[in-house]
Amino acid sequence: MKSKGTAGVLHEMDTVKGQLPFVRMEDRRRAIYHGREVPLIDIDGHVKRELEAEELATMIRMLREQKRRLYRSSLYHFAKYCLENADIEQEAHLELCLKLQNFYWGIGQKSEHAKGVRKLLVMMPRNTLKSTICTVAFPLWIYMQQDPSVLDKFSTEGAPAWKAPASFNGKAGYNQRILVSNAVENLAADFITLIQTKLLKAEELIETFGSAAWEKKTPGTWGNGYFDLAWRTDVQGREPNCSSGSMNKQVNSGHYDICINDDMNNEQWVT
């Protein structure tokens, strides 16, 4: 067996959890997602057997930047690997993820969308992770599309610059106002709580993008059924970054960028 030098360790890092290729470029010089080229970093060209601390730190930053590019360019990889949803599978969920991310980027819209009508109906059987992807992963993916204007301690300062495609409305992800609704208010609030938990505790998410949650939760920034991101710079809108709604909750005076309606029908509202 060969001894494990730095290069040997890197070859073991070719996959994340044994599945997702990140490092080696021999077989994959660049990734293409629905016609959009995502530049990947050739770390192999920067790695030697013996690395000084500064070189090793640079390599780690480059690896992290490569992961960020992939997650930002692929909702599927973000939902499955960054948020650690092992049950998400390519055959069942890749097309849904592509439709959602292209919807957010404004790609492939029909002619009526030019008039401001942007609607997407998702119909899949029960227990197929619709809510996991559409209601939890999708908002988090949106929020991570751009770095905050003030970089935190997890900064990738010095890493090669690369920007995700612009959103459909031109706003940064961390400034989007998202309404998550359900037929029952408590269930809608539960979705918000789950998103908040991911922001606070999802290790891969925080390690890759940094912490977008407030260190001290104060009224108006973080509560039951709503929250603002610490990264937010748009102070004009009074609506939080994410808030809950229901059939019994008045939200008609709100100005939201994206509305996610998850299971709005139940026995009470169907006649």
What is the tens place of the pLDDT at every residue in 126-181?
A: 889 999 999 999 999 999 998 886 554 444 443 444 677 888 888 999 999 999 98
For the chain, the C-alpha Rg in angstroms (whole number) is 20
pTM of the model: 0.75
Q: What integer pLDDT is reported at residue 115 of this predicted model?
A: 55
3-class state of residue 229 by DSSP? coil
Q: What are the tens digits of pLDDT across the range 221-231?
A: 898 899 999 88
Residue type, 174: Y
Q: In a 10 Å sphere around its CB, with 0-12 CB exposed, 13-18 middle and 19+ buried, how is residue 23 labelled?
A: buried
Cβ count within 10 A of residue 43: 20
Cβ count within 10 A of residue 45: 7
d(CA 226, CA 101): 23
As a whole number, mean pLDDT of residues 95-118 equals: 75
Q: What integer pLDDT is reported at residue 42 of this predicted model?
A: 54
